[in-house]
Amino acid sequence: MKNIITINRQFGSGGREVAKRLADVLQIAYYDKELIRQIADKTNFSPEFIAETSETMNPYPLVFANTFAHTSLSPADTIQIAQTDFIKELAEKEDCIIVGRCANSILADTAFKVFIYSSDMEERIERCYQKVPNDREMPKKKMEKQILAVDKQRGKYHSFSTGQNWADMSNYDLCIDTSKLGVKKAVELIVVGYHLFFNL
């Protein structure tokens, strides 16, 4: 088993940036869109469709995945089984960072599981505006509603797939608020945590 970091994150918390910087600092692979591309290759669904499943669809819970392995499967189930298999293969193959996709549950006993959040809604809104500048035309209140809706969907997908509460700290080894620490310091802290966790 390799040294895997899973990153789950609130929308607009800077979690994806944390994961990218972390991969740079630790010089290990980073699976986010690449993970989706690989699942697309295995399932023949489009990357866009796969990306959407974690925010809009409710596949069968992971615990039942094997039961359906040889039966006629819904697209969401096919994706989830391919994703579970691929994440387990990755964990045998190389040290890496995996963003989202229930990896914290799939590798619950072995990975270093990190959750990134931000208690500062203003900052989350600003981060979303910076990412998609055209969204600045959207009023802040509407953007806030959208941010909370994405979190809600992530939580729903996670709960339906794993039976776990996505926002419950007990599903992670380390939870960091980026609102005061910021992204760069969060990365420094995770680097230390990674070395401590895996006795490196």
Say how many C-beta atoms besides its own lie within 10 A of residue 189's C-beta.
15
Among 31, 86, 166, 172, binds a copy of itself (CB under 8 A): 172
> Of 169, 7, 22, whose CA–CA distance to 102 is shortest?
7
Shortest CB 75 distance to a copy of itself, Å = 33
Block residue for tokens 């509603």: 145
Residue 110 carries which DSSP code? T
181 contributes a contact to a copy of itself by CB under 8 A: yes
25 contributes a contact to a copy of itself by CB under 8 A: no
47 contributes a contact to a copy of itself by CB under 8 A: no
112-133 CB burial, b ≥16 within 10 A, e <16? bbbbbbbebeebbbebbbeeee
Among 19, 91, 147, 167, binds a copy of itself (CB under 8 A): 167
Q: How many residues bind a copy of itself (CB under 8 A)?
A: 22
Name the residues that contact a copy of itself, by CB under 8 A: 115, 117, 119, 167, 169-177, 180-181, 185, 188-189, 192-193, 196-197
